[in-house]
Amino acid sequence: MMQQTVLVTGGSGFLGQNIIRRLTGEGYSVSCLDRYEAPFLEECGAKFISGDISEVKHLEGVLEGVDAVIHMACTILPQMSNSDPLFDVVTNVGGSLHLLDAAVKNKVKKVIFFSSGGTVYGVPRQVPIPETHPTNPTCSYGISKLMVEKYLRLYRELYGLNTCSLRLANPYGPYQRVKSAQGAIPVFCYKALTGEPIEIWGDGSVRRDFIYVGDVVSAVLKAVGTEEEIPQEINIGSGQAVSIRELLAFIAEATGKELDCRYKPARAFDVPVSMLDITLAEKYLHWKPETSLADGLRKTVEYIRQNCI
């Protein structure tokens, strides 16, 4: 088989770093289009293209000879998106349309989009949540992810562009920022290791679907590599939900530390439970998560110990 050329947008970040390292390791030729260059790109032989997808001129020539696009560039976090929905739409939806137009023009074979299983459904009516569940996001980020998903569908209809949206649960693992508003696990692990207090909204009974990043990467590689027809939207989660209290007990075990937990009033928008149904991913991507929470946390803690402390 000929070597596949993959363009990753937003590849300098957490998920991008994990995905690009694996893609180059498996022999793909990879370019990363991002606003920021990350040192790991040179290390693993990926080409860096400086650019912003919301600037149409930054996409000129970038998709020539590209077989597949993994689209991850996203300027906003869910919890901040409601403060400026227009910015979210202009940069993320507008930028995604520039990318889709360029993909059609350059006859790209496949576009895989990173959507969000934690926000597109809104308050779950049932768990686990199947892809057919109603979509009523409670934040602008979820709405803009959904809009991009719909354009992927439309471009398949209009131009035969092969597209798929991966609706991702809560990924965690190496290369994730430990001082960030997103990602409870790296923040909690870092604070456990440094002895800082850990703030928890509510009583810790809310249950979430945490997936180890290595398993996310395997799902993406399956989606990129398969020649089979795959569904338009696919949930990617761990197949289980754990409460924040259970998670903290796992983190205490993985770090060997006693945690200083401070419980704060619950936030209105935190739903009691969120967990994705991963039947479609198992059936069509022939994939299932393989890393237990205990193992994933051990690897994450090891990474933080060696790189962030």
Q: Which residues make up the interface to ligand NAD (CB under 6 A)?
A: 9-10, 12-16, 34-36, 52-54, 72-75, 91, 95, 114, 116, 168, 170-171, 182-183
For residue 258, the minimal CB distance to ligand NAD (Å) is: 27
Q: Is 141 a catalytic residue?
A: yes
Question: Cα angle vertex 144, ends 169, 286, to 5°?
Answer: 35
User: Are residues 75 and 91 in contact, defined by beta-carbon separation less than 8 angstroms?
Assistant: yes
Beta-ladder partners of 172 = 212
- Residue placing its CB nearer to ligand NAD in the complex, 5 or 182: 182
For residue 2, the minimal CB distance to ligand NAD (Å) is: 28
3-state secondary structure of 185: helix
For residue 256, the minimal CB distance to ligand NAD (Å) is: 26
- Edge-first strand listing for the sheet containing 163-168: 47-50, 29-34, 5-9, 68-71, 110-116, 163-168, 233-236
- Residue placing its CB nearer to ligand NAD in the complex, 91 or 255: 91
- 121, 141, 175, 212: the catalytic one is 141
For residue 1, the minimal CB distance to ligand NAD (Å) is: 28
- Residue placing its CB nearer to ligand NAD in the complex, 108 or 173: 173
Cβ-based neighbours of 100, under 8 Å, separated by 6 or more:
111, 151, 152, 155, 161
- Residue placing its CB nearer to ligand NAD in the complex, 94 or 257: 94
Give residue number: closest CB to ligand NAD. Answer: 13
What is the C-alpha to C-alpha distance for residues 113 and 106, in angstroms, rounded to an integer?
A: 17
For residue 53, the minimal CB distance to ligand NAD (Å) is: 4
Cβ neighbours around 74 below 10 Å, total: 23
What is the C-alpha to C-alpha distance for residues 114 and 308, in angstroms, rounded to an integer?
A: 27
Rounded to the nearest angstrom, the gap between the alpha carbon of residue 218 and the centroid of all alpha carbons in its chain is: 13
- Residue placing its CB nearer to ligand NAD in the complex, 180 or 260: 180
Which residues are the active-site residues? Answer: 141
